[in-house]
């Protein structure tokens, strides 16, 4: 999946007052980043080789977003260009908070026909310039005392060789390692996102904290239902792991989107809401702020049914209203994807439309080919391009439309919420473990003694003491 975060969402990062330098800012990824940052309220320094293109970008951004924009015409292949650009960018608005090292070139050539001049130019633009620019800007960020973020736009070519891209692959691999060294020396300037685990293992939470990750999957029931981890083990682990996440200020994502891949998305919608409210309670008991509790759900109703768009709107709006400060994770359709890539692409666009209209916060993008094979890079580009269009075209749609108080959307919300409330009352009466034993969530039943890891659970002795828990709970 590919992730897009809506900068207007109250739980997401805003860039008001931030100053950003973006290299290669007039085309492609750089131009899209510039528009996104401008919409989020940042002041921009744009660099590129074409003065006319920079001027056009400056005019468009100031006209559409009213932001401050400065431009710098530079050729990063020149020896002194990186340091000169760093100086000019920091002087433009009295400092920098963000650097996006995006500029890059490629001269495809077989190794046997390599042109030394083109090789040197590729290394200069793709490795030397961003490395020196990041070092210079990093020094300035440390000196100004407020820190900042350095974002490196690398490539899969850093990890996997591409024929005829000898210099390009070498430059991108070098850039990735240079960025890691920079992060190790100067602190957390590169933001990392982890979707590696849906479990509540404290060991993973500790590693996430040590690596200073921004986000990780952490659900109180996912491991029980989908990985057959013992429920007694999981309910102990979820508290400790979330205490760690709260301490490290890591955003957690819950996994309710998985429930409606194993159960019918329409019929089981109430289980998503009930589980989200349970996850919220567990997270708050572990000291987590609402801004760190990200709830999962998805666009998964069978497309063969009528009015599915309205029913998806009903769910997305209800989740957003229930958790106004939380960064909602909205998954694209997967269960009903098929080999027809044109339908698949249209299906994904509908999910993107619901996400931007209801301000979900963290939008994962579907790929038109994912029902057939592992998506290629171009498939991912198409998904990003399409989502960027939908996000631009429907940027303020949610502010302009309202649904009937007695219409399909409102009736569906009342129906789902009433069913969720009834399920929560059952859980309160019979207990959480009993509800899971009856397959109330994800149509999957588990027992208190079943699953992996029970042998690691022991009852607390009267004199039990955990110094780490004392610190995390603020008692030390």
Q: Which two tokens stand for residue 95?
A: 């400092």
Residue 215: beta bridge partners?
A: 251
- Catalytic residue of the set 6, 257, 348, 379: 257
CB 216 within 8 A of CB 253: yes
Q: How many CB atoms lie within 10 A of CB 476?
A: 9
Residue 68: beta bridge partners?
A: none
Residue 331: beta bridge partners?
A: 298
The DSSP-derived string for 28-88 is HHHHHHHHHHHHTT-EEEEEES-HHHHHHHHHHHHHHH---EEEEE--TTSTTHHHHHHHH
166 part of the active site: no
- Catalytic residue of the set 166, 222, 330, 391: 222
257 part of the active site: yes
- Catalytic residue of the set 97, 168, 237, 329: 329
118 part of the active site: no
Residue with tokens 């070519």: 157
Cα dihedral 133/139/143/146 (nearest 10): 70
Q: Report d(CA 1, CA 203) in Å as an integer.
A: 25
User: Which contiguous run of DSSP H or E holds residue 254?
Assistant: none
Length of the chain: 476
User: Which contiguous run of DSSP H or E holds residue 212?
Assistant: none
Q: Indicate which residues carry an active-site annotation.
A: 222, 257, 329
């Amino acid at each position: 999946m590919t992730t897009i975060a809506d900068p207007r969402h109250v739980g997401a990062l805003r860039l008001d007052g931030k100053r950003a330098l973006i290299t290669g800012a007039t085309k492609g990824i750089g131009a899209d980043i510039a528009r996104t940052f401008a919409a989020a309220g940042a002041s921009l320094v744009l660099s590129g080789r074409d003065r006319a293109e920079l001027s056009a970008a400056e005019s468009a951004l100031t006209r559409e977003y009213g932001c401050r924009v400065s431009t710098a015409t530079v050729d990063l292949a020149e020896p002194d260009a990186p340091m000169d650009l760093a100086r000019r960018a920091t002087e433009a608005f009295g400092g920098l908070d963000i650097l996006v090292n995006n500029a890059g070139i490629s001269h495809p050539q077989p190794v046997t026909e390599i042109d030394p001049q083109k090789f040197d130019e590729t290394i200069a633009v793709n490795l030397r310039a961003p490395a020196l620019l990041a070092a210079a800007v990093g020094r300035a960020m440390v000196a100004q005392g407020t820190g900042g973020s350095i974002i490196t736009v690398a490539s899969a070519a850093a990890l996997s060789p591409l024929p005829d891209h000898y210099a390009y692959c070498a430059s991108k691999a070098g850039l990735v390692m240079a960025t890691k060294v920079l992060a190790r020396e100067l602190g957390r300037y590169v933001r990392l996102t982890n979707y590696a685990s849906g479990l509540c293992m404290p060991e993973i939470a500790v590693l996430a904290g040590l690596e200073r990750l921004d986000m990780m999957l952490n659900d109180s029931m996912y491991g029980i239902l989908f990985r057959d981890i013992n429920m007694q083990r999981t309910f102990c682990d979820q508290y400790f792991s979330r205490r760690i996440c709260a301490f490290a200020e890591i955003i957690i994502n819950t996994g309710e989107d998985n429930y409606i891949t194993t159960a019918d998305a329409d019929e089981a919608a109430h289980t998503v809401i009930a589980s989200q409210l349970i996850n919220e309670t567990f997270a708050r008991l572990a000291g987590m702020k609402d801004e760190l509790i990200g709830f999962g759900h998805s666009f998964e109703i069978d497309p063969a049914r009528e009015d599915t768009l309205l029913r998806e709107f009903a769910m997305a709006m209800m989740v957003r209203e229930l958790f106004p400060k939380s960064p909602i994770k909205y998954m694209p359709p997967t269960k009903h994807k098929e080999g027809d890539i044109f339908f698949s692409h249209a299906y994904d666009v509908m999910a993107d439309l619901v996400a931007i209209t209801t301000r979900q916060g963290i939008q994962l993008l579907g790929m038109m080919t994912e029902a057939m094979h592992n998506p290629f890079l171009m498939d991912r580009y198409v998904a990003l391009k399409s989502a960027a269009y939908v996000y631009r075209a429907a940027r303020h749609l949610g502010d302009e439309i309202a649904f009937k108080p007695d219409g399909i959307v409102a009736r569906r919300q009342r129906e789902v919420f009433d069913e969720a409330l009834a399920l929560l009352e059952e859980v309160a009466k019979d207990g959480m473990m009993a509800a899971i034993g009856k397959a109330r969530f994800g149509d999957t039943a588990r027992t208190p003694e079943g699953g992996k890891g029970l042998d690691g659970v022991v009852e607390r002795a009267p004199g039990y003491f955990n110094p780490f828990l004392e610190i995390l709970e603020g008692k030390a």
